[in-house]
Amino acid sequence: MALNLNICLSQQTIDANNISSFLLGGGQRSNFATLSLQPIAIIDAEPDPSNTISFGISTNNLEAGLPATGVGGISTNDNIWLNFTYRGLNFVNAKIYVHTNQIVPAGIVIKIQVIAATNIGGSYNPNQNINPITLSTAEQLLINDFASGYTGNGLGTGYNLRITVENHSGLSLPNGFEIIYEIK
């Protein structure tokens, strides 16, 4: 984004006999300046690092030499907040996509949904996809076509997400598994 300015410079001379008037003296000239504002795209999920979902382990059969069996089932976390700061190049709108960095194992289904958009301390126009998205390694649209702005920082502002994990067999996700949010 470029901001074009015409900067006028002059030297002022004050008439001591008539304080309400002044004369523009020598050295008057005008310069043209261009300021370039760089695009910004920052995104953050709050709270961090406590944004986890876990399934307990059954202690009934917990014995060395026997398999540790997970309880499994469906678990939901409604306390994830997506915050962003965005300034597009030449006022171009952006979108937020979500995907995983690894394949979701068979037997596990992870869904994400925007359940609210709150503007506390920010300046943006929410335009979220309200339908649940089943996560995979393919990028999927989470927030649609928004203009430059910012959500504010922390819990209770920005986009409130619901993450639901269906894991009836009590399986584990692979080490290093991540949900990735990207502004494009």
Could you give the percent of the chain with pLDDT greater than 90? 30
Region 42-65: mean pLDDT is 67
Q: Give the SS3 label for residue 91.
A: helix
Q: Select the more confidently predicted residue: 23 or 130.
A: 130
73-101 pLDDT, tens digit per residue, is 888 888 899 999 998 888 888 999 999 99
Q: Quick check: 65 pLDDT over 90?
A: no
Query: Which residues fall within 8 angstroms of residue 11, CB to CB, at 6 or more apart?
Result: 24, 25, 26, 27, 28
Q: Quick check: 69 pLDDT over 80?
A: no
**Cα 86 from Cα 91, distance rounded (Å):** 10
Residue type, 178: E
pLDDT at 35: 72
Q: Quick check: 175 pLDDT over 80?
A: yes
21-36 pLDDT, tens digit per residue, is 655 555 556 667 777 7
